[in-house]
Amino acid sequence: MASVKTYVRPMQGWWRRNPYFVRYMIREGSSVFLAIYAVILLVGLFRLTQGEAAWEAWRAALTNPISLIFHWLALATVGYHAYTWWKVAPKTAPDLRLGGKPLPEMVITGGGFLATLGASALIYVIVRWM
Protein backbone atom coordinates (compact mmCIF):
# COMPACT_ATOMS: atom_id res chain seq x y z
CA MET A 1 0.00 0.00 0.00
CA ALA A 2 3.03 2.27 0.32
CA SER A 3 2.83 3.43 -3.29
CA VAL A 4 -0.82 4.50 -3.00
CA LYS A 5 -1.51 8.20 -2.51
CA THR A 6 -3.43 8.67 0.73
CA TYR A 7 -4.86 11.62 2.62
CA VAL A 8 -3.92 12.07 6.28
CA ARG A 9 -6.48 14.10 8.21
CA PRO A 10 -5.16 16.72 10.65
CA MET A 11 -5.38 16.15 14.42
CA GLN A 12 -5.73 19.86 15.22
CA GLY A 13 -8.50 20.45 17.77
CA TRP A 14 -8.99 16.68 18.26
CA TRP A 15 -10.08 16.98 21.89
CA ARG A 16 -12.99 19.29 21.06
CA ARG A 17 -14.51 16.76 18.65
CA ASN A 18 -15.92 14.40 21.28
CA PRO A 19 -17.32 15.08 24.80
CA TYR A 20 -15.38 12.01 25.97
CA PHE A 21 -12.11 13.70 25.01
CA VAL A 22 -13.18 17.00 26.61
CA ARG A 23 -13.74 15.14 29.91
CA TYR A 24 -10.34 13.46 29.50
CA MET A 25 -8.64 16.84 29.04
CA ILE A 26 -10.42 18.24 32.12
CA ARG A 27 -9.27 15.15 34.07
CA GLU A 28 -5.66 15.66 33.00
CA GLY A 29 -5.86 19.46 33.38
CA SER A 30 -7.25 19.21 36.92
CA SER A 31 -3.94 17.70 38.07
CA VAL A 32 -2.27 21.07 37.42
CA PHE A 33 -4.15 22.50 40.43
CA LEU A 34 -2.91 19.59 42.53
CA ALA A 35 0.68 20.32 41.45
CA ILE A 36 0.35 24.04 42.34
CA TYR A 37 -1.16 23.10 45.72
CA ALA A 38 1.76 20.74 46.37
CA VAL A 39 4.27 23.51 45.55
CA ILE A 40 2.49 25.87 48.02
CA LEU A 41 2.74 23.19 50.74
CA LEU A 42 6.45 22.62 49.98
CA VAL A 43 7.07 26.37 50.23
CA GLY A 44 5.34 26.25 53.64
CA LEU A 45 7.67 23.45 54.75
CA PHE A 46 10.68 25.46 53.56
CA ARG A 47 9.44 28.58 55.41
CA LEU A 48 9.08 26.46 58.59
CA THR A 49 12.80 25.68 58.44
CA GLN A 50 13.52 29.44 58.36
CA GLY A 51 11.98 30.08 61.76
CA GLU A 52 8.74 31.24 63.37
CA ALA A 53 8.50 34.65 61.66
CA ALA A 54 8.84 33.12 58.18
CA TRP A 55 6.28 30.41 59.03
CA GLU A 56 3.75 32.97 60.33
CA ALA A 57 4.28 35.14 57.23
CA TRP A 58 3.49 32.11 55.04
CA ARG A 59 0.36 31.39 57.11
CA ALA A 60 -0.72 35.01 56.76
CA ALA A 61 -0.21 34.86 52.99
CA LEU A 62 -2.65 31.93 52.86
CA THR A 63 -5.46 34.15 54.14
CA ASN A 64 -5.09 36.46 51.14
CA PRO A 65 -8.39 36.42 49.13
CA ILE A 66 -6.55 35.25 46.00
CA SER A 67 -5.10 32.36 48.00
CA LEU A 68 -8.55 31.49 49.39
CA ILE A 69 -10.12 31.54 45.92
CA PHE A 70 -7.29 29.33 44.62
CA HIS A 71 -7.69 26.83 47.46
CA TRP A 72 -11.45 26.52 46.98
CA LEU A 73 -10.88 26.10 43.23
CA ALA A 74 -8.13 23.55 43.87
CA LEU A 75 -10.37 21.62 46.28
CA ALA A 76 -13.10 21.42 43.63
CA THR A 77 -10.78 20.36 40.79
CA VAL A 78 -8.84 17.89 42.94
CA GLY A 79 -12.19 16.47 44.08
CA TYR A 80 -13.12 15.99 40.43
CA HIS A 81 -9.68 14.49 39.73
CA ALA A 82 -10.18 12.00 42.58
CA TYR A 83 -13.59 11.09 41.14
CA THR A 84 -12.11 10.42 37.67
CA TRP A 85 -9.19 8.56 39.28
CA TRP A 86 -11.56 6.00 40.78
CA LYS A 87 -13.60 5.92 37.57
CA VAL A 88 -10.52 4.64 35.67
CA ALA A 89 -9.26 2.47 38.55
CA PRO A 90 -10.91 -0.71 37.13
CA LYS A 91 -8.70 -0.27 34.04
CA THR A 92 -5.47 0.06 36.04
CA ALA A 93 -6.29 -2.65 38.60
CA PRO A 94 -5.04 -6.20 38.05
CA ASP A 95 -7.49 -8.88 36.86
CA LEU A 96 -9.51 -9.13 40.10
CA ARG A 97 -11.83 -12.09 40.44
CA LEU A 98 -14.31 -13.27 43.04
CA GLY A 99 -15.33 -16.91 42.75
CA GLY A 100 -13.98 -17.07 39.19
CA LYS A 101 -16.02 -14.06 38.04
CA PRO A 102 -14.45 -10.66 37.36
CA LEU A 103 -15.12 -8.14 40.10
CA PRO A 104 -17.72 -5.65 38.76
CA GLU A 105 -16.19 -2.26 37.90
CA MET A 106 -18.79 -0.66 40.20
CA VAL A 107 -17.25 -2.42 43.22
CA ILE A 108 -13.73 -1.09 42.51
CA THR A 109 -14.95 2.44 41.73
CA GLY A 110 -17.48 2.50 44.59
CA GLY A 111 -14.95 1.06 47.05
CA GLY A 112 -12.50 3.78 46.04
CA PHE A 113 -15.11 6.52 46.55
CA LEU A 114 -15.92 5.19 50.02
CA ALA A 115 -12.23 4.93 50.94
CA THR A 116 -11.63 8.52 49.78
CA LEU A 117 -14.63 9.86 51.71
CA GLY A 118 -13.61 7.87 54.82
CA ALA A 119 -9.99 9.06 54.68
CA SER A 120 -11.08 12.68 54.08
CA ALA A 121 -13.49 12.57 57.04
CA LEU A 122 -10.78 11.05 59.25
CA ILE A 123 -8.25 13.74 58.30
CA TYR A 124 -10.87 16.45 58.88
CA VAL A 125 -11.59 15.10 62.37
CA ILE A 126 -7.86 14.88 63.20
CA VAL A 127 -7.11 18.41 61.94
CA ARG A 128 -10.22 20.00 63.46
CA TRP A 129 -10.37 18.43 66.91
CA MET A 130 -7.11 16.69 67.77
Partner 1 sequence: MAEKRTIEIEVLRYNPEKDAAPHFQTFKVPFSDDASVLQGLLYIKDHLDGSLTFRWSCRMAICGSCGKMVNGKPELSCHTFLRDYYPGPVRIEPLNHFPVVRDLVIDQSDFLKKLESVKPYIIPREEKDVKDGEHLQTPGQLHKYYQYSQCINCLLCYAACPQYGLKPGFTGPAALALLHRYNADSRDKGWDERAEVLNAEEGVWGCTLVGYCSEVCPKHVDPAHAINQNKVNSTMDYFGVLKLLMPKGGA
Instruction: Please give the residue ranges that form the binding site for partner 1 (CB under 8 A).
Output: 1-2, 4-9, 11, 14-15, 17-18, 20-21, 24, 28, 88, 90-95, 97, 100, 102
- In angstroms, what is the minimal distance from the CB of 24 to partner 1? 5
- In angstroms, what is the minimal distance from the CB of 97 to partner 1? 8
**CA 108 from chain center: how many Å?**
18
Question: Which residue's CB is nearer to partner 1, number 18 or number 120?
Answer: 18
Question: Which residue's CB is nearer to partner 1, number 110 or number 118?
Answer: 110
SS3 letters across 30-42: HHHHHHHHHHHHH
Question: Which residue's CB is nearer to partner 1, number 24 or number 58?
Answer: 24
| φ/ψ of residue 101, rounded to 5 | -100, 145
DSSP state of 63: T
Question: Which residue's CB is nearer to partner 1, number 70 or number 85?
Answer: 85
Cα(117)–Cα(130) distance, integer angstroms? 19
Amino acid identity of residue 108, one-letter, is I
- In angstroms, what is the minimal distance from the CB of 36 to partner 1? 21
Question: What is the distance in angstroms between the CA of the first residue and the CA of the last residue of the chain?
Answer: 70
